[in-house]
């Protein structure tokens, strides 16, 4: 089955802790994205990567970090610097180009203890 | 910065009736307008998209119209069914911000039996 997977489905973060969200795709897509979704708001771009070993900040990158060591993987770390991390995090992938369809994973809900 | 406004935020229609969701965008250079459907607890899924070289596109019960002059685009769902209940997001190609695609804030559509 081709697709994009995210894990875990739910994640709990303690004060001062860094947590990492996993995103894997087997669609052979070059581009991958991380979005944050808050209630009543649209999706906001955190980071994106158009090619392995390269990534760019989105509109709300502060307090987050990413890596792209493999084409199929784009993990997101929510650092302790992110003061309001509670949200639904969505990973997506697409072919190269803005007009390529973005395929989304099922999401990870991050909650703060 | 670039903006996509979406209305209404919630919409309730009788099963079998039509539903219309409207969006406006700010960047006149945008040429690509996708619509996504998000079911509860899942990631968004592309349902239809339109490019600026056409004014309307149809796919079974779903249609999208685009008015580039007015910078408006709309989603029309006819003969609504219970499985149409979801959150719908419009989006527009972004240029001046870091985001490749700018999303609207979403419309929660409920279909009454």
Contact: A43, B44; criterion CB under 8 Å:
yes
Checking DSSP bridges between strand B72-77 and strand B45-51, what pairing results, if any?
Answer: unpaired
Distance of CA A66 to the CA centre of its chain: 8
What mean pLDDT is reported for chain B?
92
Residues in chain A: 113
CB spacing of B93 vs A57 below 8 angstroms? no
Which pLDDT band, with edges at 50, 70 and 90, does A98 fall under? confident
Tell me which residue of B5, B81, B86, B2 sits closest to A41, measured CA to CA: B5
How do residues A54-88 score in pLDDT, each as one tens digit? 999 998 999 999 999 999 999 999 999 898 999 99
- Give the tens place of pLDDT for each residue, A10-61: 999 888 899 999 999 999 999 999 999 998 788 999 999 999 999 999 989 9
Span B71-98, average pLDDT: 90
- Residue A56 near chain B (CB below 8 Å): yes
Whether A57 has its CB under 8 Å from any CB of chain B: the answer is yes
Note the pLDDT of residue A44: 92
Q: Tell whether the model's pLDDT for residue B97 goes beyond 70.
A: no
Which of B31, B46, B102 lies at the smallest CB-CB distance from A101? B46
Mean pLDDT of chain A: 92
Can you tell me the distance from the alpha carbon of B26 to that of B95, in angstroms, rounded to the nearest whole number? 11
- Taking residues B17-25, report their average pLDDT: 98
% chain B with pLDDT above 70: 95
CA A91 from chain centre, in angstroms, equals 4
- pLDDT at position B110 is 98
Q: Which helix (H) or strand (E) holds B59?
A: strand B56-59
Q: Cα distance from A80 to chain B (closest Cα, Å)?
A: 24
Q: What per-residue confidence (pLDDT) applies to A85?
A: 93
Residue A90 to residue B44, Cβ atoms within 8 A: yes
CB contact under 8 A, A45 and B104: no
Residues near B75 by beta carbon (within 8 Å), at least 6 away in sequence: B20, B21, B23, B35, B48, B62, B63, B64, B88, B90
A2 at the B interface (CB within 8 A)? Answer: no
């Amino acid at each position: 089955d081709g697709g994009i997977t995210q894990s875990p489905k739910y994640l709990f973060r303690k004060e001062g802790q860094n947590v990492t969200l996993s995103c894997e795709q087997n669609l052979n897509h070059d581009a991958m994205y991380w979005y944050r979704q808050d209630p009543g708001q649209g999706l906001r771009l955190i980071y994106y990567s158009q090619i392995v070993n390269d990534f760019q900040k989105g509109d709300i990158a502060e307090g987050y970090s990413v890596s792209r060591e493999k084409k199929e993987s784009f993990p997101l770390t929510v650092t302790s610097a992110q003061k309001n991390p509670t949200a639904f995090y969505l990973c997506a992938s697409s072919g190269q180009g803005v007009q390529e369809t973005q395929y989304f994973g099922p999401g990870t809900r991050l909650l703060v203890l | 910065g670039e903006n996509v406004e979406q209305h209404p935020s919630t919409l309730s229609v009788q099963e079998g009736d039509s539903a219309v969701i409207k969006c406006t965008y700010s960047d006149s250079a945008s040429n690509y307008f996708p619509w996504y459907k998000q079911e509860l607890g899942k990631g968004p899924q592309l349902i239809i998209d339109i490019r600026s070289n056409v004014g309307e596109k149809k796919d079974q019960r779903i249609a999208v119209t685009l008015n580039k002059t007015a910078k408006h685009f709309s989603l029309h769902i006819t003969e609504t069914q219970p499985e149409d209940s979801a959150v719908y997001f419009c989006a527009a190609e972004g240029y001046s911000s870091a985001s490749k695609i700018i999303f609207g804030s979403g419309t929660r559509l409920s279909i009454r039996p």
